[in-house]
Each structure stands twice: as C-alpha cells, then as structure tokens.
Structure 1
Amino acid sequence: MLAPGNWKKSTISGGGQGDACVEVFNGRTHIAVRDSKTPTRAVLTFPAPAFAAFIEGLKGRPQR
C-alpha cells in the first residue's frame, strides 16, 4: 500500500484553479502516478527505470 504522505503534487499545473495536476509516488522500485483531483481512483505504476527514461524523453521537447 502506498502511504498517503509520500505523494508529491506536480509543480506545474494547468490553468484556472491549478487543479489539473498529477501526483507522483517515488517508491524504491516503482513510480506511481495518480490524478490529484481524484486520488482514491486508479493509480498507474511503472518500473522506476522505465519512468526515468520517459521523463528523460520529455526533456527538451517543446511545450504546447
């Protein structure tokens, strides 16, 4: 089970109320991602190396 206090909200939010965020849980072997508006719903989990590669792939890409 993922402890509630270990989730971190994204520092970049969508417009408006700033509620278009995701939260990330950094575990030892896996990274979990959830919608900050509905934290009790589905959680996506990824092996830590795969998530790190995903983030590296996003760096340097133009923002929309």
Structure 2
Amino acid sequence: MSDQKTPCLYCQTLNEAGQSDCKNCGMPIAEYHPQSRKRGLKLFHKAFWLIVIFCVFMIFYLPR
C-alpha cells in the first residue's frame, strides 16, 4: 500500500494514490489536484526565473 493519499474534489475523502474513483462518492479522482503543492512549486519556479531574467535584462538595457 502507498502512503500517498489523494483527496476527492467532491467529498474531500482521502483515497489511495492509484484509485480512479472515490471510495466514498464514486466520482472520478482528478489526475492533478488543483491545490497540489508540486503544481504550485512548478508555477513559482517558472515565475521566479522569468522575473530573474527580466531583471538581468533590465540591468544591462537601461541607461546609466
């Protein structure tokens, strides 16, 4: 058995990671949960590097 649990988007019941349907309400389990930490970090990393590149570009582009 896996230690990972995936919450159902409809009833918030925790289900095992490999299940395709919720054990409580029977609704399909989302492949990616919208509040997933991994998804949030991925978005943060993209935004962070975009801002870093923009700042470095502006350092050399702007007149002194």
* TM over 0.5, shorter chain: no
Larger Rg: 2
TM range (shorter): under 0.3
Normalised by the length of structure 2, the TM-score is: 0.22
| Between structures 1 and 2, the one with greater helix share | 2
| Between structures 1 and 2, the one with greater strand share | 1
